[in-house]
Chains A and B, each alone.
Chain A
Amino acid sequence: MKLLLVEDEKHLADSIMSYFRGDGYLCEWAPDFVTGSQKIDLYEYDCALIDLTLPGGNGLELVRQFKQKDSTAGIIIISARNALDDKISGLDIGADDYLTKPFHLSELNARIKSLIRRRTFQGKLDFVFREITVKRDSMDVLVNGNFIILTKKELDLLLYFIANQNRVLTKESIAEHLWGEQVDSLDSLDFIYTHIKNLRKKLVEKGCPDYIQSVYGMGYKFTERS
């Protein structure tokens, strides 16, 4: 899986790349507009992360370049600007997603996964983690072939866990992924615990090992216990 990252902030690029290398992605970094443009011309990518404000030009131009090349790459704009206009014009010219800085790497990961999944497998692939399968079309959840009934939030939570398996997910990242920006206006994220607890209970009841591991106060990790 090849990923292009066009981002002028070195430290940000470093952490994004080190996060994704762990998942077996091949990451290439372009620190400015010109380098980005050259790389787009020369190579093929599965996914591109493009910052809008770049030294040497506007990231939107790079999105256009991708589209002119008829590239199949999924494009995610990452920008510090949370302006609706930027969002709309970015998506208009063919970007697949728009993420405002600062974002959670796990959120970016989930979006990239879902984008690649849509592009490469035409969305036909089910989500699988060991004995858990989530059907792509119906969103039915099966554990060892048996249906389990999850609420909408529990399903989203499970999919987020599967996308970010073996990684520590912070409570903030989970809350924002599931409930969106309005969690910002709440003081406490304790309510997440209820949903985690319910999901864990339902999975364990059907014979799953307890994959949801609590990581101190930080968050949770969906992993096979060693």
Chain B
Amino acid sequence: MKLLNRTAIAYFIVSLLLLIVVTPIFYLVLNALFVEEADETLVSRKQFVVARLPQIKSAKEIADWTRFEDDISVTSLPVGTLPQPDTLYEGIEPGDEHFRELATQVMINGRPHLLMIRSSMLEKGDLIKTIVFFQILLLGALLLCLLLINRWIAGKIWQPFYETLAKLKDYSLKRRTQPKLGHTDIVEFRELNGVLDRMTHKIQNDFTSLKQFTENASHEIQTPLAIIKNKLEVMIQDEELSGEQMLNLQTIYEATGRLSRLNQALLLLTKIENDQFSTTERLNLKVVVEETLTLFEDFLLAKNLRVHTDLTDCWVTLNPSLARGLLTNLISNGIKHCTEDGTLSLMLSETNLIISNPGAVPTQPPETFFERFNKANPRSDSLGLGLAIVKEICEYSNLAIFYEFDEGVHTITVQFGETTF
């Protein structure tokens, strides 16, 4: 949920609650006000009327008088009625007319009479209806204003924030460009941009120096490795060596070889990450596939594998070394995991490359296949970097890659997206 919508809803709920609470209070206050006003009117009317009562001399005069005064009625009381204090009360006439009435005992012509003065009041239902109507109107207007203000705020005030957000979304360490955060008058956003600027700068620097370090370290490792390897090669020429010594040397030699291959693979990964394969060429992947297959002929033969190919011309824009690296690793992976006497299948169309081989049911979740140092068989001498390199190449070259296992067949699909035109 958007921040502005959230605040708008909060505002709206609070306003609604406030109105619900306020409406009855408002009604009660208003009503009390009306009653008080009506009572005051009645009292002053009574004084006015009482002041003129001495002029009335007969019952006939009373009747004549009250006939024209709708709000006044006079009833004679039996003689000897004890004087009562004035009472004020409310009532409803037929026709749903509300009124307020003042009853008082007066002496007309020396006889006690009950004088009742009535003042009609605003109907309660009408009052409530009016109040609720205006409150809803108010609520609506409030909401409308809120939405308009929010829209305006979203458009104007929050704009630098959204700009920053968009730039950060687009930010990738690997692209090596700092996001350029714009200038803003709003202090909070300016602070945010400042902090983000420093942060991305630091991250970028750390990332670059780490990558640089990895690459340098890999280079530096090459020399001692070369020394070990070459010394071993000199050593094994010695004919005096016993069989046991030779076997030990062989173990050292193989381990060194592994270390060397590992280092090469990591160096390749680092180089890709360090953007050292940015030069691209238009190349026909069909040719690369065919060339790579030729290189693997002997290995296919050694494992007695058949190859089924269905290749069409496919022009892609890729770095040639990476294209070869991709195919080499995909094919060697296929050979490695193919069951003996199986068929390695390669299909290349204009949009994708599909390589599949029959093999054992995967023991690990497929998502982990492309992770570094993940091996199908932990005891094997494999480095577990082949598919990690494939994935890195695909990511670097904007190619999508999928893996699936169906009915004993492993299939890896590489899709050429934007790069194929």
Residues of chain A at the chain B interface (Cβ within 8 Å): 9, 11-12, 15-16, 18-19, 22, 80-82, 84, 101-106, 153, 167-168, 170, 172-173, 179-180, 182, 184-188, 190-191, 194-195, 215-219
Contacts and interface: CB of A to CB of B under 8 A. Distances in A.
Given A101-B226, A106-B233, A167-B237, A194 B382 contact: no
A153 B236 contact: no
A81 B225 CA distance: 14
B223 to A, nearest CB: 6
Contact of A80 (B223, B250, B253, B292): B223
Contacts of A188: 381
B226 A182 contact: no
B134 to A, nearest CB: 81
In terms of DSSP, what is the predominant structure of the interface of chain B? Answer: helix
Given A104-B233, A187-B382, 11 more contacts: A9-B223, A19-B233, A101-B223, A101-B226, A168-B237, A172-B254, A182-B332, A186-B336, A191-B301, A194-B302, A215-B246
Interface in B316-330: 321, 328-329
Q: Chain A CB within 10 Å — which of B225, B243, B250 has the most?
A: B250
7 contacts: A80-B219, A167-B237, A170-B233, A182-B296, A184-B261, A185-B332, A187-B336
A11 to B, nearest CB: 4
B299 to A, nearest CB: 6
Interface in B211-261: 219, 222-223, 225-231, 233-234, 236-237, 243, 246-247, 249-250, 253-254, 257, 260-261
A215 B236 contact: yes
Nearest to A226: B239
Interface of B: 219, 222-223, 225-231, 233-234, 236-237, 243, 246-247, 249-250, 253-254, 257, 260-261, 264-265, 267, 292, 295-296, 298-299, 301-303, 321, 328-329, 332-333, 335-336, 380-382, 386
Given A84-B321, A190-B302, A105 B234 contact: yes
Contacts of A216: 243, 246-247, 250
B52 to A, nearest CB: 121
Contacts of A106: 233
Contacts of B233: 15, 19, 104-106, 170, 173
B225 A180 contact: no
Contacts of B260: 102
Contacts of B237: 19, 22, 167-168
A218 B251 CA distance: 9
Interchain residue pairs A-B with the least CB separation, the first 6: A191-B302, A102-B226, A185-B332, A15-B230, A101-B226, A80-B222
Contacts of B234: 15, 18-19, 105
Contacts of A185: 328-329, 332-333, 386
Contacts of B298: 153, 179, 191, 195
A84 B268 CA distance: 13
Nearest to A17: B234
Contacts of A12: 223, 226-227, 230
A16 B321 CA distance: 31
A22 to B, nearest CB: 7
Given A168-B237, A186-B332, A194-B302, A218 B246 contact: yes
B302 A168 contact: no
A111 to B, nearest CB: 14
Contacts of B226: 9, 12, 80, 101-103
Contacts of A80: 219, 222-223, 226
B332 A19 contact: no
Nearest to A106: B233
A217 B386 CA distance: 26
Nearest to A183: B299
A180 B246 CA distance: 26
Contacts of B303: 191
Contacts of B249: 218
B231 A15 contact: yes
A184 B303 CA distance: 17
Nearest to B257: A172
A172 B321 CA distance: 23
Nearest to A109: B233
Contacts of B229: 102-104
A102 B332 contact: no
Contacts of A180: 295
Contacts of B228: 102
Nearest to A103: B226
A4 B223 CA distance: 19
B387 to A, nearest CB: 11
> Quick one: which of A9, A84, A170 has the most chain B CB within 10 A?
A170
Contacts of A81: 219
Nearest to B254: A172
A155 B412 CA distance: 36
A194 B295 CA distance: 17
A191 B250 CA distance: 18
Contacts of B257: 172
A58 B399 CA distance: 39
